[in-house]
Amino acid sequence: MPKTGSAPHPPALKVQDLTCARGSTVLLEGISFDVAPGEVLELRGPNGVGKTTLLRTLAGLQPPVCGHVVAADESMAYSAHADGIKATLSVRENLTFWAGVYRVARIDEAVRAFALEPLLERPAGQMSAGQKRRLGLARLLVTGRPIWLMDEPTVSLDGHARAQLVEVIKAHLAQGGSALISTHVDLGLQARHLDLTPFIAAQGSTDASFDGDWA
């Protein structure tokens, strides 16, 4: 993957004419967009349009059919539908593990950002869906990576936690980070929107090709 140039404000992420497929089904064609540092882009579109597929392609889990994704190496952190939480490990152990994987020394900031202090020693299996989601999102903070790819981050969050999430994203943007968020709710981030509907591939459809097995 080529690195970004040294222009005054190079985009953190540049996508050119990208075609992405889930398995062997081409879902989206000809997507192009830029995301600058400090900017957030919200992906919109009906269920099954390919938001998750686009994010997985950007994260490198799925090779693009054609087109280019230009970003610095190891600059993206992916947050999926599933949070990757081990039920028998405590919140602290879960976060410390991911911090270790990304060679980040401290988890305090991530814990504070999502108000996880009272839950630190609790086994993750005993937490509610919303609490698990907060732990899953806190994982993004211990990656130390500038570009966040977030797949429906607000699922099962209550109003308060959603406000925490917005604060965390704003703080991340203020530090020069950027984010790509697929969401159906307005987070109030004054973000640019990208509707994926015009990019639906000719042979793909929305709900008909969705086998319910992507999460």
Partner 1 sequence: MIRLIQRDLKLAVRAGGGFGLALAFFLIVVMLVPFGVGPQSDRLAPIAPGVLWIGALLACLLSLDRILHLDHEDGSLDLMATSPLPLEGLVLAKACAHWLTTGLPLSLVAPLFAVFLNLPLSAYAVLVLSLLVGTPALSVIGTFGAALTVGLRRGGLLMSLIVLPLYVPSLIFGADAVRRAAEDQSPATPLLLVAGISLASVALLPFATAMVLRANLR
Residues, the chain: 215
Residue 175's CB is within 10 A of a number of other CB atoms, namely 10
Least gap, CB of 62 to partner 1 (angstroms) = 5
- Does 62 interact with partner 1 (rule: CB under 8 A)? yes
Least gap, CB of 166 to partner 1 (angstroms) = 23
State the number of CA atoms in the 13 A half-sphere of 122 facing the CB: 12
Query: Of the candidates 1, 17, 23, 198, which one interacts with partner 1 according to CB under 8 A?
Result: 23
- Does 129 interact with partner 1 (rule: CB under 8 A)? no
93/116 Cα distance (integer angstroms) = 13
Smaller CB separation from partner 1, 189 or 209: 209
Smaller CB separation from partner 1, 74 or 195: 74
Of residues 162-201, those binding partner 1 (CB under 8 A): none
Of residues 94-113, those binding partner 1 (CB under 8 A): 97-98, 100-103
| DSSP code string of 68-91 | EEEE-TT-EEEE-SS----TTSBH
Tokens at residue 201, please? Answer: 């591939």
State the number of CA atoms in the 13 A half-sphere of 155 facing the CB: 17
- Does 27 interact with partner 1 (rule: CB under 8 A)? no
Vertex 99 angle, CA 98 and 101, to 5°: 60
| DSSP code string of 48-62 | TSSHHHHHHHHHTSS
Smaller CB separation from partner 1, 85 or 141: 85
Least gap, CB of 75 to partner 1 (angstroms) = 11
β-sheet with 25-35: strand ranges across: 25-35, 13-22, 66-71
Least gap, CB of 56 to partner 1 (angstroms) = 8
Query: Of the candidates 3, 81, 160, 184, which one interacts with partner 1 according to CB under 8 A?
Result: 81
Least gap, CB of 22 to partner 1 (angstroms) = 8
Interface residues toward partner 1, by CB under 8 A? 22-23, 56, 59-63, 74, 76-89, 93, 97-98, 100-103, 139, 143
